[in-house]
Amino acid sequence: MPELPEVETVRRGLEPALVGRRFDHVDIYDPRLVRPYDPAEVAAELSGERVASVGRRGKYLIVGFETGRVLLIHLRMTGSLRHARRGSLQDDPHRRAVVNLDNRSDVAYRDVRRFGTWLLLEPGELEPYLDERVGPEPLDTSFTAARLGERLANRRAPLKSALLDQRTVAGLGNIYVDEALWRARLHPLRPANGLDRDELRRLHRAIRATLEKGLERQGSTLRDYAAPDGASGSMQDEFRVYGREGEPCERCGTPITRIRLGGRGTWFCPECQADSRGD
Task: State the binding string over 211-250 for Zn ion (x if CB under 5 A, else -).
Answer: --------------------------------------x-
Q: Is 158 a catalytic residue?
A: no
Interaction between residue 15 and Zn ion (CB under 5 A)? no
Strand-pairing partners, residue 108, are: 82, 98
Chain center to CA of 194: 27
Known catalytic residue: 59? yes
Pairing of strands 60-65, 70-74: antiparallel
Q: Which of 12, 155, 251, 264 is catalytic?
A: 264
The size of the chain, in residues, is 279
In the complex, least distance from residue 182 CB atom to Zn ion, rounded to whole angstroms: 8
Comparing CB distances to Zn ion, the nearer of 255 and 262 is 255
Q: By C-beta, is 234 or 254 nearer to Zn ion?
A: 254
Residues 6+ apart with CB under 8 A from 262: 161, 164
For residue 77, the minimal CB distance to Zn ion (Å) is 30
- Catalytic status, residue 248: no
- Cβ count near 112 (within 10 Å): 16
Shortest Cβ 184–Zn ion spacing (Å): 12
Residue nearest to Zn ion (CB): 249
Active-site pick, 11, 56, 59, 190: 59
Q: To the nearest whole angstrom, how small is the minimum distance from the Cβ of residue 271 to Zn ion?
A: 5
Subset of residues 249 to 278 that bind Zn ion, contact rule: CB under 5 A:
249, 251-252, 254, 269, 271-272
Give the nearer residue to Zn ion in terms of CB position, either 153 or 252: 252
Residue number, 109 or 242, with CB nearest to Zn ion: 242
If we measure between CA atoms, which residue out of 230, 223, 6 comes closest to residue 112?
Answer: 223
Q: Is 223 a catalytic residue?
A: no
* Integer Cα distance of 42 and 32 in angstroms: 12
Nearer to Zn ion, 146 or 252 (CB): 252
Count of residues engaged in binding Zn ion, rule: CB under 5 A:
7
Contacting positions for Zn ion (CB under 5 A): 249, 251-252, 254, 269, 271-272
Catalytic residues: 2-3, 59, 264
